[in-house]
Amino acid sequence: MNKVKGWRALVVGLFVSLVSVVLGTKQVEAKELIRGADISILADMEKSGAGYYENGVKKDALQILKNNGVNYVRLRLWQDPYDDQGNSYGAGTNDLKTTIALAKRAKKLGLKVLLDFHYSDFWVDPGKQNLPKAWENYSFEQLDAALYGYTKSVLTEMKNNGVYPDMVQIGNELNSGMLWPHGKSWGEGGGEFDRLATFLKSGIRGVKEIQPVDTPIMLHLADGGDTDVFTWWFDEITKRGVDYDLIGLSYYPYWHGSMNALQTTMNTISARYDKEVNVVETAYGHTTASADSMPNAFGPEQEIAGGYAATPAGQREYLNDLVTRIQTVPNEKGNGFFYWEPLWYNGNVSWATAAGMNYLGVQSQTGNEWDNQAMFDFNGQALPSLKAFQEAGRQQNLLKNPSFENDGFTNAPSNWSVWRGNGAAIDTLKTETGGFSGTYKATFWDDQAYQMSIYQTVNGLSKGTYTLTAYTMAGGDLTTSQVYVKNHGGKELKTSITKSGEWTKVTIKDIPVTSGTSEIGIYVDSKAQGWVSVDHVTFVKNQ
C-alpha cells in the first residue's frame, strides 16, 4: 500500500479529522423502533374459543403483546369477506366493522395502528389480486373512482370512530400489481405501470384528503431478499410520480433468501429512493410440529433453509438478528418490523372457509398452516420468544453510522471522529467490504507502526446504565487494541480486542452514565502490519 506523505497529507488529514470531530459531537437521540404485530386473526380466534395466557394467567391477547414490548398493530382490511348467503370467508373476517373494533382495542392500550388496504374481498399477494365482487364489471375509469371513494369512506368511518390509523398501506404485496387485470404490473399488453400508478395515486389521494395529521403511507412488496424486484417496481413507480413515504418488505428467511440479501435490498432501496424501510411481514417457526392436520408452511426443510432452530429460542434469536439488520440500514432508515399473525396458534380458525375458497376459485383443505409460527404454543401460552419485542426496544442504538454503511469507501466515516497519532496516515483507516452486518466495516492497517482511534461523543443521555458492544476481528503485531467508553461520569472502561480471523463480539456491560455524555471509541496501537476491523458498534440504555 503506497502512502501519500508530506504536507498535503497533513493538511488533508487535519481537515478530515476536523470534519469528523464536528460530526461526531452532535447530540444523538434514538427514535422509537416500530415493534409491530399483525393481529388480524384475533376476532375469529376469540370467537372460536381461543384463550391467551401469560405465565399461566389468562389475559387479553393485546395486553400480553403490549406487556412484551409490542408498540404497533397491523390490521388487514377486506371489503366484503362474505358470500351471497352471508357466510364468512374466514381467516379473521376482516371487514371494516371488525377492523374498527380491533383498532379500538389497540388504541385503548396505547398501541398504534397500521391499516392494510387489500382492495379485495379476501387474500391478495403476488399470485392473486382479485377484484372485489362489487367491482367485478367496472371499467378502468370506474375502478379508479371506486378505489378513491372507498379509501375516503373507510378512513372517514375510522376517523369518526376515533381510530384513525397511524400509518396506511395502499395494497398488499404489490409485486404483480393490484385489482387484476386492470392494475396488473405485467403481461397486459403495455401501459401496465401507468394504470397501476393511477390506482396508487387515487388511493393515496383518498388518504390525504381525510387525514387529520400527516399520515405515513406505505407501499409493500414481497420477496425482501430480491433487490432486483424492488428496484424494477419502484423505479417504475418513481418515474410516474407516485407520492409515498416508506417501503414495506415481506421477508420470510426460508423463502426469501439470506439476511445478507435482505440487508442489500434494504440498504439499496432506502438510498435509491430516499425512503424509510419496514419489514412489514416476517415470521419463523417455534417447532416443526402442527396443531392440526393441515400441513404447515414451516417444516423441517424450512428450518434448514431459514438457518435457525425451530424452537422458541430459535424464533427469538431470529427476531433479534432481524432487528440488528434493520438498525444497520444507513441513515436510520430502517424503522422497524411487524410479525405476521403471532396470535394464530391453532387450527380452529381456517385460512379459508368453503365460501372463501369458492371466492378464490380453489379447493383445498381447511385448517391453519401457520400455527407453528405463532408466538403462543398450541395451548395459547405465551412463548419466551415474545421477549424479542422488548429486546428490540432495548436495542435503540444511540450511535450514528454504527456499521459504517453511510459513505461507501472512505477514510473518514461520517459521524465518527478520527484521531491519528504517531505513524498514522490518512489511509491507515478505511472502510472496506466484508462487514459483519451490511456491506462495510472499518479497518485499521498500516505497513509501519501507528496509533489511531475512532470515536463518537453521545450527548443528552439520561442517567442510568448502558451497554456497549462491537464486532471485531484482528491480527498481526498489536501492542494495544481495545474498545472503550469514557467521560460518562466514572472512570474509563475498556476491553481488549481478541486476535481472530472470525467476527468476535466485544461487550462492556453496566456502564454508569451520570454526566449526560459518553465517548465511545476503538483505539489501536500497532506495530507494522497489525490490523483491526470493527463493525456494528452499539450503545444502548439498559431497561
Residues 154 and 163: their CA atoms lie apart, in Å, by 11
Residues 64 and 60: their CA atoms lie apart, in Å, by 6
Q: Which among 54, 192, 281, 405 is annotated as catalytic?
A: 281
Half-sphere exposure of 172 (CA within 13 A, CB side): 22
Active-site residue flag, 281: yes
Question: Do 376 and 59 meet the contact criterion of CB atoms below 8 Å apart?
Answer: no
Residues 278 and 244: their CA atoms lie apart, in Å, by 13
Residue count (the chain): 543
Residues 350 and 91: their CA atoms lie apart, in Å, by 6
Mark 142-160 as b/e (b = at least 16 C-beta within 10 Å).
ebbebbbebbbebbebbee
Cis omega (within 30 of 0) for bond into 181:
yes
What is the grid cell recorded at 197? 400508478
**Amino acid of residue 363:** Q
Residues 413 and 404: their CA atoms lie apart, in Å, by 6
Residues 101 and 254: their CA atoms lie apart, in Å, by 34
Q: Which among 54, 173, 341, 519 is annotated as catalytic?
A: 173
Residues 327 and 63: their CA atoms lie apart, in Å, by 26
Please report where in the chains the cell 369512506 appears, as a residue.
153
Straight-line distance from the first to the last Cα atom of the chain, in angstroms, rounded to the nearest whole number: 46
What is the grid cell recorded at 385? 420468544
Active-site residue flag, 173: yes
162, with CB counted inside 10 A (0-12, 13-18, 19+), is exposed
Give the residue among 534, 540, 402, 542 at the shortest CA–CA distance from 472: 534
Residues with Cβ within 8 Å of residue 104, at least 6 apart in sequence: 161, 162, 163
DSSP string, 88-157: B--TT---HHHHHHHHHHHHHTT-EEEEEE--SSS--BTTB-PPPGGGTT--HHHHHHHHHHHHHHHHHH
Question: Do 406 and 415 meet the contact criterion of CB atoms below 8 Å apart?
Answer: yes
- The catalytic residue positions are 173, 281
